[in-house]
Structure 1
Amino acid sequence: MQKTALVPYARLPRDHHDRHVLASTVDVAGAAHWLLAERAPKRGGDPRPFDALVVSVHDGGAVEVTPLSAVRARWPHLDRLPDGGFVVASARARRADEHPQVQVFDALGHEARSFTVGDAIQHLLVDRAGDLWAGHFDENPDGIRRWSPAGQLRWASDDAPGAGWIMDCYALNVSGPTAWACPYTDFPLLEIAPGRPMKVRSNTVRGAKAVAVHEEWVAFVGGYGEERNLIRYGGLTDTSVETGGSAVLTAPDGAPLGPSRFVGRGSRVYVQTEPFTEWGVFDLSA
């Protein structure tokens, strides 16, 4: 089978390799960010807030460092807001939790506000307008929801007929005004654009962990078992995805990929493997 190698994209500067990577992402503008702490969190361990560091690597290699004060999330999601601030969210929101799940930090690293978006966050991505898209895994039936940066619910997938039962948001892509998702159980490809009804396309690809879309083409990345590093291509019709060829996604040097994290942004899927200090990119438009 044809192989497609990731292109090296961004690397955490070595000066920061002595810290533990709590979370990492690539934002809507293409900058890579790492949320770092002095030590790894312990399961069920110290609940006290801690100070952290966000190291950002911009397109072109410029490095920016932002200290964050009093972070509460132990297993966080991270993204950047258009105003230069950051959002840090705990994947879990328990009833017994004393504080809201999502912290919004200003550009200086101080908490500006906090709110809760619901338990079991699988994906948390900020779009160009600054809205937060939360895709939940199967311990929360909320599916996919969009929130303002102030915590106001703006859209929910349970208000969108025709998508079937959205039990688990396997793949979520947020770039411009449109979001794309591929949820369990039927794995339709959802096109979600503000101001118009959600478009639902039937799809035969099962278990994809990320999706990239460019013009009338789509690529699904990842899957179950031996398909975890598979790319499956398709064309978009008005009502369905017509699947075509496939390829194996590899590391930039051609080596097999280990367990991976994915971030979908438009035509791109950014990929990260342990020890999570580097990002590679697959670009469907290329």
Structure 2
Amino acid sequence: MTPDRLTPYARLPHAYRHRDVLHSTVDAFGRAHWLIAIAEERHGRPRADPYDAVVVTVEDGRGHETHLSALRPRFPLLDALPDGGFVVADARRRAREEQVQVFDALGRPSWSFAVGDAVEHLLADETGDLWVAHFDEGVCGNDELSHPGLRRWSSTGEPQWRYGPVPGAREIIDCYALNVAERAAWACPYTDFPLLEIRGDRVVRVRHNPVAGARGLAVHGDRVVFFGGYGDERDRIADCRLTDTAVEVVAEGRLARPDGAALGRRRVVSRGARLYVQAEPVQEWTVLDLAAPDLA
């Protein structure tokens, strides 16, 4: 069955709902996180540089805090690491700064490094490796770290893998959608939007994909669902079947909030069979799970 509504997944505890959320995500283990600045803010961004923040984590309906100190990112992207620590990156890199900060499970700064300008996606996998995808201002800019469009780094900043053109797929200009699960990644880059399947240190399969402009995808067996698109297709859901060489559209519809309302502005995180969506106000995560019994 092609889904048309998301399912409630995790909510920010009521005590924090008056605070400005700098970023939010769902990690590789299904835990939801909200990054909230402690210092006085203006227009949703911290005044002080560096600034302190708290990560509010919700797991199985229960919430807890981790305080982070001396953050520097102006446009922060957050994810969690397997050891209980966190990584916070600035989406934009100034000059030669090390814009990624790693914190231990107690919130103490551990180290920092650079991954390049114009970060579109920052996703840590179950081992703690970081998958970093870039949008066009980085790929086509002056920061060489961004030029591959998609890279994998260790959590200590060591380069592990970088994308390069392969038969059936050209250079990445902008990595629109990225799904990371276990030791595999799926990417859907501009301009032709091929579906790249990456395992280990290589692209193992390139599939022709007729779905343009998707910002999220969920993969389960031989099924893939794309979410998003251009213009009126912003809320489109494309339910597809995978062959060895192509993506075949089976059905299309529109994805809505759990109550049926339109989504509006949203964040999207793609993790294996799950597509997590957070619409404004950014207090709740919802999910589309292809592995759920009613969708499998």
TM range (shorter): over 0.9
Q: Name the CA distance, whole Å, in 2 between partners of 1:5 and 1:267.
A: 16
Counterpart of 2:155 in structure 1 is 149
Counterpart of 1:278 in structure 2 is 284
Structure 2 residue matching 1:15: 3-state secondary structure: helix
Q: Name the CA distance, whole Å, in 1 between partners of 2:131 and 2:167.
A: 19
CA contact (8 A) 1:74 1:90 kept: yes
Structure 1 residue matching 2:275: 3-state secondary structure: strand
1:30-58 CA-to-partner distances (Å, cap 9, x unmatched) read 00000001454559985610110000000
CA contact (8 A) 1:22 1:36 kept: yes
- The one-letter code matched in structure 2 to 1:194 is G
Q: Name the CA distance, whole Å, in 1 between partners of 2:89 and 2:167.
A: 29
Matches within 5 A, 1:228-243: 228-243=234-249
1:189-242 CA-to-partner distances (Å, cap 9, x unmatched) read 010100554311110100000010000000000111111111001111111111
Structure 1 residue matching 2:138: 3-state secondary structure: coil
Of the candidates 76, 93, 116, which is equivalent to residue 114 of structure 2? Answer: 116
- The one-letter code matched in structure 1 to 2:135 is F
Counterpart of 1:21 in structure 2 is 21
Counterpart of 2:30 in structure 1 is 30
Counterpart of 1:129 in structure 2 is 127
Counterpart of 1:217 in structure 2 is 223
TM-score (normalised: structure 2): 0.91
CA contact (8 A) 2:196 2:203 kept: no
Seen in structure 2, the aligned counterparts of structure 1 residues 31 and 100 have a Cα distance that, compared at 3 Å, is: same
Q: Name the CA distance, whole Å, in 2 between partners of 1:115 and 1:4.
A: 41
CA contact (8 A) 2:22 2:44 kept: no
Identity %: 55
Matches within 5 A, 1:1-286: 4-38=4-38, 39-41=40-42, 46=47, 48-58=49-59, 60-95=60-95, 99-141=97-139, 142=147, 143-158=149-164, 160-286=166-292
CA contact (8 A) 1:165 1:186 kept: no
- The one-letter code matched in structure 2 to 1:242 is E
Q: Name the CA distance, whole Å, in 1 between partners of 2:183 and 2:74.
A: 30
Structure 1 residue matching 2:136: 3-state secondary structure: coil
CA contact (8 A) 1:77 1:91 kept: yes
Seen in structure 2, the aligned counterparts of structure 1 residues 250 and 68 have a Cα distance that, compared at 3 Å, is: same
Seen in structure 2, the aligned counterparts of structure 1 residues 44 and 273 have a Cα distance that, compared at 3 Å, is: closer
Structure 2 residue matching 1:4: 3-state secondary structure: coil
Structure 1 vs Structure 2 CA RMSD:
1.7
Q: Name the CA distance, whole Å, in 2 between partners of 1:182 and 1:198.
A: 14
Seen in structure 2, the aligned counterparts of structure 1 residues 40 and 262 have a Cα distance that, compared at 3 Å, is: farther
Report how far residue 18 of structure 1 moved: 2.6
CA contact (8 A) 1:3 1:250 kept: no
> After the TM superposition, which of the residue ranges 45-54 and 182-191 deviates more from structure 2?
45-54
Counterpart of 2:143 in structure 1 is none
Structure 2 residue matching 1:139: 3-state secondary structure: helix
Q: Name the CA distance, whole Å, in 2 between partners of 1:45 and 1:69.
A: 13
Q: Name the CA distance, whole Å, in 1 between partners of 2:42 and 2:91.
A: 14
TM-score (normalised: structure 1): 0.94
Q: Which ranges in structure 2 are unaligned for 5 or more consecutive residues?
A: 140-146
